[in-house]
A and B are shown apart, each in its own frame.
Chain A
Amino acid sequence: MITIAVAGNPNSGKSTLVNAIAGTRLHVGNWPGVTVEKKEAIFEYNGKRIMLVDLPGTYSLSPYTQEEIIARDYLVHETPDVIINVVDSTNLERNLYLTVQLLELGIPVVIALNIYDEAKKKGYRIDIKSMEEMLGVKVVTTVATEKTGMERLLSTSLKVAESPFQYHSKQLDYGEDIESIVRVMEQRIKQSHATLAERYSLRWLIFKLLEGDTHILKEINGDGNGLYFDDVVRHLRKMYGDDIESIMANTRYAKASETTHGVLSKPEIRKIELTEKIDAVILNRFLGVPIFLALMWFVFKFTFDVSTPFVDWIDAVISGPLKRWTVVMLGMIHSPAWTISLATDGVIAGVGFVIMFVPVIFTMMFFITFLEGSGYMARAAFVMDRAMRVIGLHGKSFIPMVLGFGCNVPAICATRILENQKDKVLTALLIPLMSCGARLPIYVLFVGTFFSENSGTVLWSLYVMGIVLAIVMGIVFKRTIFKGEPSVFIMELPPYRMPSFKSLMIYTWERGKHFLVKAGTYILLVSIMVWILLNLPWGVEHKKDSYLGKTGQTIAKVFKPLGFGSWEVAASLITGVIAKEIVVGTMGEIYIEKKMVETTEQKTILQDLKECGISFTMAVKDSVTNVFSTFWMKSISIRGDKKLTPLRTVIQKTFTPLSAYAFLAFVLLYMPCIVASVAMRNEFGTWKWVGISFAYQITLGWIVAFVIYQGGKLIGIG
C-alpha cells in the first residue's frame, strides 16, 4: 500500500482537493486523543492500493499548535511514501515557507499548485519548470474546485512514491554558516547515535536541535542522549546568540522568497480585488456588527426552522407507524409483553431520538462549513473578538454559543471551528447554559401554570439567567481551570472564495454520519437503562415501586431545600438526562399514573406508507414556508398542549410559584443532556470534560435554585 500525506496551509484548498480525489471514500474521524479532525481514505488507483491521509492545515512545522504537532509527528514517525503539498498559487511565498520545511524531512514531495485559476485571472505567471528545478520536486497545477489536475497529481505522486531515489527531494542550501554545522553534527550523530539516524531525517533533527525544540529534545532524551545534545546546543547558542530560531525562520523564508521571485511574474498594475470591496462593507466600523448579527440570525433560522418540520415528521413516523408495526410484528411471534415494551419504549424511542437530530446536525454542518470555506468565519471572529474576550473566549466562539439556543448538540459540534483546545473546551462547557429548545416544553408547562399573567417576562428571565451565568462561569473558568493559558489571536483573513458544493456535501455527510454512529450507540444504552429503571421490577403496580421510583425517593432529600423534594420530581429529573423535554413526559406518566394510551387504529401498511409520504410533502412545504416567515420563536413550537391539562392540576398542588421558578432554574442548569454529552465526548475524545460539565452544572443549578427558593422565602414571596 502506498501512503500519501496531504499537507498545506489553511485555506490553500486542501479539504476541497482531498474531497475531489477521495470523494465519498473519505472517512472523517479525530486524531487520537485530540480535537483535531482526521480525514483519510483508502482506494484503488491504477491497480494500486492507496491510503490518503489529510494532515491538519498548518503554516509551519514548529511544535506550537496542536495541528503542527500532529502533522509533523505523523510525517516524522509514520514516514508516508510521498507528501502532496497543496500550495495556494495566489500566495506563493507564505505557502512555500511550509514547503521548505517539508523538504527538510527528506520525504519525496509533490507540489499541487492549487487555485491556479485565480492566479491566472490575476495575471500571475508562474514558471513551473524553474519551480521544479529550484525546489527539486514535481509540480502539478490544480484547480480543486473544478477537479482539474487531479489525475495528473495522483499519477505523478505514484510515480514519485515508487521510485523515491530518482525523485529524492533536493536539500536546499541554507548557506555556509548553517550547512557547516549540519555537516559536523551529522558526522557526530552518525558515529555515536546511529539509531537516531535511522529514526529521523538527520538534517531535520539537527535543525530542531538548533532551534531548541523542546518537543524533540524530550523525545530523544528518552533514549538517554540528552546530555550530549544539550551540550552541543548550548555551544551553538553561545556562538549564534540565543536567537537561532529567528535565524532559521529567516533562512527558510529567504528560500521561499527567493523561489517566489524566481518563478512568479505579476502584472504591473494591481486591480482592486473583490475581497477588498467586500471587506470594506463587512468589516465596516458601523455595519460590521449588524451584518454579522443578521447573518447569524439567518443561519440560526435556517438551521432550526428549516429542519423542524422534518424533525417533527421523523418523530411522527417513529412514534406512529414504526412503533405500531413493531408491536404488531412482535405480537405475531408471541413475544412476551416486556420485550414489546423494551423494543418500542426503549430501543425504538432511543434510536428515534438520535435520528431526530439528523436534519438539525446536517443543516448546521452545512452552514458552518460554508461560512468557513467562504472565508467569512475569520471575519466573524475578527468582528466579535473584543466582545467575546470579556469572558475569556475567542471571537469565533460566538457562533456556537448562538446555535446553543436552538440545540446544544449542533452547537457543541460547531466548536470545531475554533483552533485552540482551550477555546474549544471553554466554549463547549458554557454552551449547556444556553437555554435550548428542548427546555421550552418544561418552561411552557410551568410558566403557563404559575405565571400566566406575565409569562413572557418569566420566560425571558430564564434565557437571560443562562446568559448571565455563562458570562460569570466564563470568567470563573478563565481564572481557574484555564488559568495562565495563553490566548493568542493571530489569524489569516483569507480571500473570499466560493466553496464547491460537492465538497460541502461530502464533508457534511461524513461529519454527520460520524456523529450519528457514535451518538446512536450511547443513546441507545441510556434509553435502555432508563427503560429498565422505569419498568423494572416488571409488573410493578405503582411507579413508586419501580427502580426509578426508589431512586427518586432516595435522592429527593437533596432537592428539599430547593422547594421540590418529592420523589416524583426527582424521578423526572433523572430521566431528563436523555433530553430535558422528557422531564415533562415522565411527570405525566408518574403523576397521571396511566400511560397515554396510544390509539390502536387499524391501518394497513400501505395506508401508513401513503400517510408518511403525504406528511413528508407537508414537511417540505412547511420547511420552505418557514424560510420566509420571520418569527424565529416559531421553531420551538409548543407541542401537545391539550394533553397537559391534567398534569397542570397536579403540579399546582405540588409546587408554589416560588418553588416552580426555582425548579425551572434548576432544569435550565442542572446538566447537559446525553446527546450533548456524547457530542462533547466526541469532540474532545475524553469523558473528562463531560464529567466537569456535569459536576459544575449540578452544583451551579443547586446553588441558584437554593438562592431563589430560600431567598424568596426570606423576603416573603411564596
Chain B
Amino acid sequence: MNLSMLKPGEKGKIRDIVMGGSLKRRLMDMGVLIGEEVKVLKKAPFGDPIEVTIKNYNLSLRKKEAEIILVTTDDK
C-alpha cells in the first residue's frame, strides 16, 4: 500500500521509500522518514497533487511521488 492510495482523512505509518537517489533524500529532508506517521488531508481540485500532514506541518506532493512512499495502516 502506498501513500497515494490513502483517502483524505486517513492515516498511515511510513514503511519504506522505494526509490533511491535525490528524490528520496529530498523526501527525508522534509521529514518523510521510515516509521513516521502521515495523514492525508486533501487532494487538489484536479485530484493531484495531494496534501499531507507530517511532523506537525503540511506538505504537498504529486501522486507520482506519493506512490514511492509505502505505508501501513491500522486495519491491515
Contact = CB atoms under 8 A, between A and B. Distances in A.
Interface of A: 59-60, 62, 64-65, 91, 93-94, 97, 242, 245-246, 249-250, 253, 275, 279, 283-286, 288-289, 378, 382-383, 385-387, 395, 486, 488-494
B25 A62 contact: yes
Contacts of B48: 385-386
B58 A249 contact: no
Given A64-B25, A97-B29, A246-B28, A386 B61 contact: no
Contacts of A486: 22-23
A62 B55 CA distance: 20
Contacts of B33: 249-250, 253
A65 B25 CA distance: 11
B9 interface: no
B51 A382 contact: yes
Contacts of B27: 490
Contacts of A382: 44, 49, 51, 60
Given A489-B62, A490-B59, A94 B31 contact: yes
Contact of A489 (B28, B58, B60): B60
A59 B27 CA distance: 11
Contacts of B29: 59-60, 62, 64, 97, 249
Given A62-B26, A246-B24, A279-B42, 19 more contacts: A60-B29, A62-B25, A93-B31, A94-B31, A97-B31, A246-B28, A249-B25, A249-B28, A249-B33, A250-B34, A285-B43, A382-B44, A383-B45, A386-B46, A486-B22, A488-B26, A491-B61, A492-B30, A492-B58
CB-based closest 10 A-B pairs: A386-B46, A60-B29, A288-B45, A249-B28, A493-B58, A489-B62, A64-B22, A386-B48, A490-B61, A59-B29
Contacts, number: 105
Contacts of A492: 30, 57-60
The main secondary structure of chain B at its interface with chain A is mixed
Interface in B17-76: 20, 22-31, 33-34, 42-49, 51, 55-62, 65
B47 A386 contact: yes
Contacts of B25: 62, 64, 245, 249
Given A94-B31, A249-B33, A382-B51, A490 B65 contact: yes
- Candidate in B31, B34, B56, B60 with the most chain A CB atoms within 10 angstroms: B60
A91 B56 CA distance: 7
Contacts of B45: 283-286, 288-289, 383
A388 to B, nearest CB: 10
Contacts of A250: 28, 33-34
30 contacts: A62-B26, A62-B29, A64-B26, A91-B57, A93-B56, A94-B57, A97-B31, A246-B34, A249-B28, A250-B28, A275-B58, A283-B42, A284-B45, A285-B43, A286-B45, A385-B46, A385-B48, A386-B46, A386-B47, A386-B48, A386-B49, A395-B49, A486-B22, A489-B49, A489-B62, A490-B26, A490-B27, A490-B65, A492-B30, A492-B58
Contacts of A288: 44-45
A430 B47 CA distance: 26
Nearest to A385: B49
Contacts of A488: 23, 26, 62, 65
Interface string B1-28: 0000000000000000000101111111
A444 B26 CA distance: 51
A59 B30 contact: yes
Nearest to B27: A490
- Candidate in A284, A286, A385, A493 with the most chain B CB atoms within 10 angstroms: A493
Contacts of B60: 378, 382, 489-493
Contacts of A253: 31, 33
A62 B42 CA distance: 29
Nearest to B36: A253
A490 B60 CA distance: 6
A208 B1 CA distance: 33
Contacts of A93: 31, 55-56
A618 B46 CA distance: 45
Contacts of A60: 29
A384 to B, nearest CB: 8
Contacts of A65: 26
